[in-house]
Amino acid sequence: MELLEVIETRRSIRSFADKPVPRDALEKIIKAAMQAPSAGNQRPWHFIIVTDKEKMARVPNFHPYCKMITKAPAAIIICGEPEGVKWPTFWVQDCSAAAQNLLLAARDLGLGTVWTGVYPEEDRMTGARKLFSIPENIIPFAIIPIGWPDGEFKVMNRFQPERIHENGW
């Protein structure tokens, strides 16, 4: 699949087929996420692969917009570790770039994803820390349910030329 087709057909998938995601596909997706640019090449990210259905069923208790995780065969939690890096305030941009790579790599493999934000919502961060035993110095950033979509990908035209400015506003 060509990159622009991946970008144009990537969408938030909230309904998944009852079919497992192979471990090697999850590793490929995380490998792509780790290829993302980061400030000073500090790479402050960590990834948690989740396939435990009992844990996934408890996520909506602290994250009201992540109910679809209960039907997904897997999820990846992206976390940030800003301590001890040269540019600690850029961890959010770094993890966002990793998340985008992850979403696009999953789409390239035919998998569906949906980015559900955790940071900066305290209740979501606390819930994720408790459920997944995340250390206090690590910040849960996003939970991304992953699975085979229960439907088709279609091209989405989100181009808005009125949002383009040249040489200034």
DSSP string, 70-97: GG-SEEEEEEE--TTSS-GGGHHHHHHH
pLDDT band at residue 151 under the 50/70/90 scheme: confident
Inside any domain, residue 165: no
Residue 155: predicted pLDDT: 85
What is the number of domains present in the chain?
A: 1
* DSSP secondary structure letter of residue 39: G
Domain of residue 57: give its range.
19-149
pLDDT band at residue 40 under the 50/70/90 scheme: very high
Q: Would you tell me the crossing angle of helices 23-33 and 91-108 to the nearest 10 degrees?
A: 140
* Whether the Cβ atoms of residue 142 and residue 101 lie closer than 8 Å to each other: no
Which pTM does this prediction carry?
A: 0.96
Inside any domain, residue 155: no
Inside any domain, residue 158: no
Q: How wide is the angle at C-alpha 103 spanned by C-alphas 1 and 77, nearest 5°?
A: 150
Inside any domain, residue 12: no
